[in-house]
Structure 1
Amino acid sequence: MNTTASVARPQPLRERLRPSALWPRFVAWLMHRPHATIGFSILRILMGLSMLIVLVPSYADRQYLWGAGAWWVEPEASRRGWWEPLRVFFPKDNAVVFEICFHLLIVLAVVFVAGFKTRWVTPVLMVLWVGLSTNTTLLGNGGDTLMRIVLLFVVFADLSRHFSVDAWLRHRRGARLSFWARRRPAWVPTWLGAWLHNTVLILCVFQILLVYFVSSVLKFQGEEWLNGTAIYYALSIEQFHVLPALSQLAWQSAPMVALATWLALWVQMLFPLMILWKPTRYAAVFLITGMHLGIAILLGLWPFSLMMIALDLLLVRDGSWMRLGARLASLRRGSLRPAT
């Protein structure tokens, strides 16, 4: 008689994909524990850096861009229908209030990157960032709109579980419970924190899928994208020449320009399908991240590119990040080991 202990076999794919099995699995995924916590921590850092990339280089011209010298953008800014209380933080007719709020916004962005008191900093940062956006509606490259949407979502997410001062303090104090678990009233269900966090994850992923799908549909309506010349024309715009020599080098090879154009078009179009299977999901994230790095380096659109990369990386699971970290640590230990 075989005395070997029976090993539980994974359910066949047909059983796991049955409609009656999908809903319980989704509910368990949604409520048992927060997902993509490493991805959200990376998103926090890249989002804060995106804000600083906008604020710090513009520091000397802040009054002209958003303050008392920004009346040139009126009445267009007022016609956009912003909620009026948001406009009180950066008034064009009160330099003192403007300066206090502008410098506070920079400080909060730095604290946000560091991940200190993130639960309290995030909503205040959101209000001030949106308030600054109400003053000038003509300064932006798509990344600012996406940032405002995502900031509203991530107020309810766990952004500081990794790579943060909050995580360091929790480790130092030996507190293993999350902020939600420690501050949760007794009448609030235990699953609410995970549910909020994972709902934010779904909303953020939906947002990037929407961006890529709409972008690809619009690209298919442009002749330059279909004949493979769109990237050539983008790189030839002098206003976007951050590194002119590199931009000129990039368009020298017609086959490479055509390949990059078609690759950008089809990866964005097929992105919603590619993320359904793990191998193609990581291939899609790798390709789309490379595309955004190219946009940042060659066109100088760093805030937009960093926001898109941050959202794309939410598709990488915590387990994958941990395996990557373990692999890098193993390689580092091997490189430091003295030769015998």
Structure 2
Amino acid sequence: MNRFALLISRGITRVTEAALGPYQSAVIRIGFAATWLLFLLREFPHRQEMYGPDAPWAWGLAQQLIANNHAFTALMWSDSQVWFEIVYALAVVSSALLLLGWRTRAMSVLFMIGVLSLQNRSIFMGDGGDNVIHLMSIYLVFTRCGQVWSLDARRARRTDDARARGELPRATGADRVGPVLWAVLGLALAVATGAGRLSGGWLAVFWGLWAVQGLWWLVGRRARSAEPRILLDIVANTVHNAAMFVIMAEACLIYSTAGWYKIQGSRWQDGTAVYYPLHLDYFSPWPALSDLLASHGIMVMLVTYGTVMAQVAFPFTLFNRRVKNVLLGVMMVEHAAIAVILGLPFFSLAMIAADAVFLPTPFLRRLGGWAARARRELSSRRGGTLPGPRKQEPRTEETTEHTHVGFTA
């Protein structure tokens, strides 16, 4: 009984004392922000036909659907061309800033608004990859995904270094952008609420997120003791870890359901399912390559059965780290092949980003080191100078300095 109580105590401590998976949450943030950004940029010439006034799913039809399912989309606030361009630009800018890790708390919310606004406007335009982005954009709001590999983390390090050199008073908050951004977003939220554009659950969600950030800044700036700040850190860590668990469960659910549904299909049972999409013009960006693969029956059968087995087995491999890492690499290679052979790059990028939550931390650390060395070498070739390598520990602006907390990691 004492051992069981000790295990429970250790588990609670581990969940609350730190935001777990800082590198995994960072790569998820970068992956999904990059996927959505690239998609928006590629479809920029066709944005009117997909989500704008010229969309086949007319604004009136979308309005009727939203009235029934109560989904959120800012594009239903007005049918004007100017408003559509503003929302589309907001989606592009928020994706880019979230990718860079600038004010990740605020950008994650704006990123979610952009994703939901466009996808819920024309629900028949999406595929499986869009559904994954749709869900992950919501989950990212509750993560501390800017602890590493972000402008927020770099700003926090520089602030700490300045304080260590005595350049900044310890009790003075140096950040002014965060509170200003918080005030601007609050004003925009008040205008939308006053105009009757928000109601019900979404009204509570957005005002709740805004109020939590204000409370965090107020406690960090005004609290005379450390207890309130510690309590907020515990809550933030718990929410982050719960969101990361949901992301992992979602990835497992996607693969397991896809695998078990495939088992029920006759084409997957006889090993010919992969043959048919290779002969569809819509999924053949490289016809010669598709014909070459389809001409080898053994290869088609192995890929068909291998796909089903990998998807069904993946959730169970999480109990063995080595097997999981091997199968994870296989799944990522498979998605990369789908991107090239079937012409589904954004679906594949979305799935690879979802898979990244299971990547081992040592590998991600090495990956970050390789990227930093490549950046320094590129800068040196151009005649620039960069400081030597420095180990980047998972941290947030909130955990390093509570007196200037804004919309950060």
Task: Flag whether TM exceeds 0.5 (same fold).
Answer: yes
Query: Which one has a larger percent helix, Structure 1 or Structure 2?
Result: 2
Q: Structure 1 stretches of 5 or more lacking a match?
A: 1-17, 331-340
**TM-score, normalised via structure 1 length:** 0.82
SS at match of 2:276: helix
1:147-166 matches, within 5 Å, as 147-166=133-152
The residue identity in structure 2 corresponding to 1:205 is: M
Match for residue 286 of structure 2 among 234, 243, 254: 243
Q: Which residue of 1 aligns with 2:350?
A: 307
The residue identity in structure 1 corresponding to 2:304 is: T
CA change 1:106–1:21 in 2 (3 A) is same
Q: Which residue of 2 aligns with 1:108?
A: 94
CA change 1:24–1:76 in 2 (3 A) is farther
1:319 and 2:304 are equivalent in the alignment: no
| CA RMSD, 1 decimal | 2.9
1:291 and 2:334 are equivalent in the alignment: yes
Match for residue 264 of structure 2 among 209, 221, 232: 221
Report if the CA contact (8 A) 1:87-1:131 is conserved: yes
Match for residue 157 of structure 2 among 149, 171, 174: 171
How far 1:320 moved relative to its partner?
Answer: 4.0
Q: Which residue of 1 aligns with 2:36?
A: 51
Report if the CA contact (8 A) 1:156-1:200 is conserved: yes
Report if the CA contact (8 A) 1:141-1:304 is conserved: yes
Separation of aligned partners in 1, 2:5 and 2:305:
40
1:271 and 2:324 are equivalent in the alignment: no
Q: Structure 2 stretches of 5 or more lacking a match?
A: 164-177, 179-212, 374-409
Report if the CA contact (8 A) 2:53-2:59 is conserved: no
CA change 1:21–1:143 in 2 (3 A) is farther
Match for residue 129 of structure 1 among 115, 119, 133: 115
How far 1:61 moved relative to its partner?
Answer: 1.9
Separation of aligned partners in 1, 2:147 and 2:354:
17
**TM-score, normalised via structure 2 length:** 0.69
Separation of aligned partners in 2, 1:163 and 1:51:
19
Q: How many residues matched?
A: 311
Q: Which residue of 2 aligns with 1:34?
A: 19
Separation of aligned partners in 1, 2:326 and 2:248:
16
How far 1:207 moved relative to its partner?
Answer: 0.4
CA change 1:90–1:100 in 2 (3 A) is farther
1:71-110 matches, within 5 Å, as 71-73=56-58, 77=62, 78-79=64-65, 81-83=68-70, 86-89=72-75, 93-110=79-96
1:188-231, Cα deviation, whole Å (9 max, x unpaired):
51322221111111000110111111111110111111221111
Q: Which residue of 1 aligns with 2:301?
A: 258
How far 1:76 moved relative to its partner?
Answer: 5.3
